Amino acid sequence: MKQNKNYGIQTFFISIIGIVVVLYILKTLQHIFLPLIIAYFFVLVFMPINRFLSSKKIPISIATIFNLSIISVLIWGLISIIISSAAQFAEALPIYEKKFALVFAQYGKIFNLKEEEVSGYIFNRDNISQIFGGVFSSTMSFISAVFLILFYFIFLNTGYDRVLEVVKEKYSGLDDSRLEKRIKDIPAKIQSYIITKIFISLLTAMIIGIILYVFDVDFIVIWIVLTFLLNFIPNFGSIIAVILPMLTLFLQFNSISKAVLFAVFASVIQNIIGNYVEPKIMGNKLGLNPLFILFSLLIWGYIWGLAGMFLAIPIMAVIKILITDSDSETLTFISKLIS
């Protein structure tokens, strides 16, 4: 009995060390693993389309070219928005510098702040150059990562079905009902989550866009796109998507009441869609504990930054599916813990 207890403790600590080592490797080699994970999720998203094309006797190579065309158009659109956004901000900078001076003259004394110091820091040309330099550097890194994602996608997309066949053949002599269920569950649940999330994010972005238009907020296209993207990050994303245009509105019109009114309307919409509409449509498809969702956001955000926060939920859903109904008591316990 004592020996079994000691063995259990040893297994627990070895597992913890193993997890830490794996996370360290994922963080250190993120330039390899992150594009691979993104490419895998692209494969899952395009799987229904490819299944349909396959039923029409269209080769997977042609389907892959079609998939790549769609991905390329989406990425080109995103890069175009980033570039045009940087140009708009640069053009509007002198105007907002003057507006900031007016707002600061009115409210700065309340917080005992000196205008020269704050304004000099925010609108310092060196700081702005560093920001735009960082944006440019990030954009170039993003573009280089895109090529790696597309490279991985080609091989994953063309070889995915063959890998599944080999795995099924390997375990065909065993009780493979659980394996079969996992193979079906991972694509089905991730596809359902991503497609539903895209619909929910589009709906949110459209309604927020209408509110932005009514309030005549500057950079409306930027905020709509940002709202759509940030809605993929649970909890934190929707908060940021409200705060940024609210601050812009405050500077634009020098009106606290208008900024607060916008924040109220936008927050109400975010809450209605996030707490009522989304659960009705999505249900509990992934079956993840809300506390564990927060924990996974922090972990994957630390490992892979913003991209990790976008991928946190799908990654944890895959892990949950893989360890559910495991013969290991430890994995079964973890599965129940995160459910």
pLDDT digits (tens, 9 = 90+) for 124-170: 555 555 555 555 555 566 667 888 888 999 988 888 777 777 666 66
Angle, helix 177-215 to helix 236-253, in steps of 10 degrees? 10
User: What distance in Å separates the CA atoms of residue 323 and residue 332, rounded to the nearest whole number?
Assistant: 7
Instruction: Work out the number of other CB atoms within 10 angstroms of the CB of residue 127.
Output: 12
**Contact by Cβ (8 Å): 311, 303:** no
Q: Which of 23-27, 188-192, 226-230, 282-286 is predicted least confidently?
A: 282-286
**Contact by Cβ (8 Å): 224, 85:** no
Q: Specify the pLDDT at position 132.
A: 54
Q: Specify the pLDDT at position 300.
A: 87
What is the tens place of the pLDDT at every residue in 111-121? 555 555 555 54
The structural domains of the chain, with segments of one domain joined by +, span 22-93+112-159, 191-285, 286-339
**pLDDT grade, residue 291 (50/70/90)?**
confident
User: What distance in Å separates the CA atoms of residue 97 and residue 101, rounded to the nearest whole number?
Assistant: 6
Render the burial of 256-265: b for 16+ CB within 10 Å, e for the rest. eebbeebbeb
pTM of the predicted protein model = 0.76
Q: Specify the pLDDT at position 136.
A: 54
User: What distance in Å separates the CA atoms of residue 96 and residue 91, rounded to the nearest whole number?
Assistant: 10
The length of the chain in residues reads 339
Q: Specify the pLDDT at position 3.
A: 55
Q: Specify the pLDDT at position 72.
A: 87
Torsion sign (Cα): 212, 214, 215, 219: positive
pLDDT at 15 over 80: no
